[in-house]
Amino acid sequence: MNVSTADELTFCSNVTCQDVQLMPFAVLIYVFRTAEIILTVFGNLLVIISISHFKQLHTPTNFLILSLATADMMVGVTVLPIQLIYSGLCMQINWVLCYLYLMCCAHFTFLSIYNVSFISLDRLYALSNPFQYLNKVTFKLVSIVICLSWLTSFGYNLAVIYVNGIGTGTVLCIGECNIVYSELWASIDLFFVFILPCSVILISYMKIFVIVRIHAKSINLARGKHTSGNYQCGECAPKASERKAATTLGIMVIVFVACLLPYFLCMVLSGSIPDTLLMKLFEGALIVLYLNSAINPMIYALFYPWFRKCTKQILTLNIFNPDSSLANVF
């Protein structure tokens, strides 16, 4: 950094820093953000180790989940600590670190959103075309998609930050380290980072839900034709399976969109909100946005038995045993 030690320790005087001076509130914020960092880093690290180590989990879908977990973990490694240190202590931030911070925010958020949309398309194609899926969705294809998404995200967000720039001044408070969007770029970014991928996710999961219901009804009809006195609960299993699938998909979509929506609403309504209030709203919206990176591993833990089993193997250090990668995790 080009800023001297005296400059680095100079406290900002903006509204957010004044609010943080309240000790009980400050302690609560520190505890929450520290817990968020720990959950984000270690939760996603468990997902990465699980999929990388256990050969049974080496599937195209899980490679997309691996890409998602990597992007989410990097949020916890780069973005959240910078927010905690500089906004918590009200310290000034060098413009180079500001650009790095903005690039990490935009890059890893973009990747998380598009990885979820790729996963939704993958699951939709697997259900719609189960016989063609294994032949067409290969590791090579998924690897190309993942590499292109990372490169595209980096190039796009680098262009957005370069064209729009940040606020004036060589030293900024973390609350002032923002991209100054033009109206055109704000509309472009809103469409490509929120509207397009979220539309893909919602439409895909709606179609998945319909397909699951059709499959369940078909199974019910088939079993109904062979109902006997010893098999009177033929519809119980399909209905339970249908409810579980619908619940899992519904929770994933609701949590994901709920975490993204506040931030993009602030972006859309920024012109009609006073600057002081807008700064507070953006700060809260960013906390919710990055909270999604910590929630994703919790969803895996709740709904995927293989993740719970892998986590147990990792925490008990059984992965260091010979041939542990060949263990049955299903």
Backbone phi and psi for residue 297, each to the nearest 5 degrees, phi listed first: -60, -30
- Residue 228: burial class (beta carbons within 10 Å; 0-12, 13-18, 19+): exposed
138-184 per-position pLDDT tens digit:
889 999 999 999 999 999 999 888 887 765 555 556 666 777 777 78
CA–CA separation, 191 and 231 (whole Å):
52
Query: From residue 118, how far is each of 88, 99, 122, 142 by CA, in Å?
Result: 35, 28, 6, 10
Task: List alpha helices for the chain, DSSP H.
Answer: 5-8, 15-20, 23-53, 60-74, 80-88, 95-128, 130-136, 139-164, 183-190, 196-225, 236-268, 275-303, 305-315
| Structural domains in the chain, sorted by start | 5-326 (1.20.1070.10)
25-71 per-position pLDDT tens digit:
667 777 888 888 999 999 999 999 989 988 888 888 889 989 999 99
Whose tokens are 């004044």? That residue is: 18
68-86 per-position pLDDT tens digit:
999 999 999 998 888 887 7
Whose tokens are 């704000």? That residue is: 186
